[in-house]
Chain A
Amino acid sequence: KAGVTQTPRYLIKTRGQQVTLSCSPISGHRSVSWYQQTPGQGLQFLFEYFSETQRNKGNFPGRFSGRQFSNSRSEMNVSTLELGDSALYLCASSFSGTVRGDEQYFGPGTRLTVT
């Protein structure tokens, strides 16, 4: 079956702009988690959605938001971009969530560069 897909793969934005990233999970998976990966901080949890509801949120400012649609596709939005938001944004899907022992499947990521 098809893996997790993320669009776009690369993005260059200017400080102050906003950006929307998209993630399509593996068919049948209802949980989608988002992570920010940077060389200095590693993989940091942003939030997790399950059946269109945000179940968990990491320690990121309110400029980072997300949503999930009825088909489990998810989007994350970052408003008022800052230089420090430059990172690889990864989404991962699982059947019902990691607390139930489900493995996550990661997408290839979206590389965001803020200038």
Chain B
Amino acid sequence: QQPVQSPQAVILREGEDAVINCSSSKALYSVHWYRQKHGEAPVFLMILLKGGEQKGHEKISASFNEKKQQSSLYLTASQLSYSGTYFCGTERGDDKIIFGKGTRLHILP
């Protein structure tokens, strides 16, 4: 039931792009993306709802394929501040978010 995230870790140079994927074996109502820096609380990035509605930060983009139960987070022109662990959380319409194990992103100058 826990969504699967890929890759598990990625190292980029500043300015490069990255895609983080999240897939579930269950039908989803929404997908949530959070970023957590070491020693800090997770911070909201984006919500993608069934039906196409999205809520999130302007500089973050993501997609949600409802038929495949998959979501992807797109990080373009990465900055040093993008470093951290990215979690996707899936919800089946029951107010219960199940998080994946995270994708560690490290940006090199």
Contact = CB atoms under 8 A, between A and B. Distances in A.
B43 interface: yes
29 contacts: A31-B95, A33-B95, A42-B99, A42-B100, A43-B42, A43-B102, A44-B99, A45-B96, A45-B97, A58-B96, A92-B42, A98-B32, A98-B95, A99-B29, A99-B91, A99-B95, A101-B47, A101-B49, A103-B32, A103-B44, A103-B55, A104-B44, A105-B44, A106-B34, A106-B41, A106-B42, A107-B41, A108-B41, A109-B41
Contacts of A97: 95
Contact of B97 (A4, A50, A98, A108): A98
A55 B95 contact: yes
Interface residues of B, number: 26
Interface of B: 29-30, 32, 34, 40-44, 47, 49, 53, 55, 87, 89, 91, 93-102
